[in-house]
A and B are shown apart, each in its own frame.
Chain A
């Protein structure tokens, strides 16, 4: 089946540790995105990538890093510099045209203790 997978579904880390969230898609989409979701705040864009080996900062990139070495994969690292890392993280992908819908993965809930 085509789709987007994120792993793990739940992740716990100690404060001060970096953690990497996985996002993989087999939809042959060029563009991929990372969002952060907090209660009552909707989704906020962290980073996006329109093509392999290229990515851009979104609205709240501070404390996060990404890589896009393969078309299928767009991992997100939450660094120790991120002040409030506990949140629900959503990955999405889309085609390149303006009418292509964004498809979302199931999300990873990160809790920093």
Chain B
């Protein structure tokens, strides 16, 4: 079955870059998401990348996809305290939108 893994915790200083990593096992996904969850709230879609792309940039966010290694990363440039949250990667498989979520990485930004 599908399995999506993330490290549980990342701590960075304000102004530095953050890199959140994700590995997955099923290569048949159509695209991959990154979601952000602030405390006590729902998930907010940050960005997504189609499985036939290698990189996507969106303002401070850069997504890199290495299909050979089944590795996805999210880089946040100039990390701010408002970026403190849990970040989930997720695989989407065609059809009705079968989605498999990673375990989430809690990002702590130190002022």
Question: B85 an interface residue at 8 Å Cβ cutoff?
Answer: no
> Given A40-B8, A50-B96, A90–B43 Cβ distance below 8 Å?
yes
Q: How large is the interface on A (under 10, 10 to 19, 20 to 34, 35 or more residues)?
A: 20 to 34
Least distance between A5 CB and chain B CB atoms (Å): 10
A42: B residues at CB distance < 8 A: 4, 88, 101-104
Task: Check if B42 sits within 8 Å of A90, measured CB to CB.
Answer: yes
Closest 7 CB pairs of A and B: A104-B42, A43-B101, A42-B101, A104-B43, A42-B103, A98-B94, A106-B42
Is A25 an interface residue when CB atoms closer than 8 A count as contact? no
Are B96's CB and A99's CB within 8 A?
A: no
**1/0 contact string of B26-58 vs chain A (CB within 8 Å):** 000011010100001111110010000000000
Q: Is the CB of A106 within 8 A of B97?
A: no
B64 within 8 A of A: no
Extra contacts besides A98-B97, A101-B45, A106-B41 (20): CB < 8 Å: A6-B42, A31-B96, A40-B8, A42-B101, A42-B102, A42-B104, A43-B101, A92-B43, A94-B97, A96-B96, A98-B92, A98-B94, A99-B31, A100-B97, A102-B45, A103-B45, A104-B42, A104-B44, A107-B42, A109-B40
Closest Cβ neighbor of A58 among chain B residues: B98
Q: List 14 A-B residue pairs with CB atoms under 8 Å apart, sorted by A's residue number.
A: A4-B42, A41-B103, A42-B88, A42-B104, A43-B88, A90-B42, A90-B43, A92-B43, A96-B96, A98-B30, A98-B95, A102-B97, A103-B45, A104-B43
How far is it, in angstroms, between the C-alpha of A42 and the C-alpha of B37 when the chains are bound? Answer: 11
Interface 0/1 of A31-59, CB less than 8 Å to B: 10001000011111100101000000000
Does B19 have its Cβ within 8 Å of any Cβ on chain A?
no
Name the distance in Å between B97's Cβ and chain A's nearest Cβ. Answer: 5
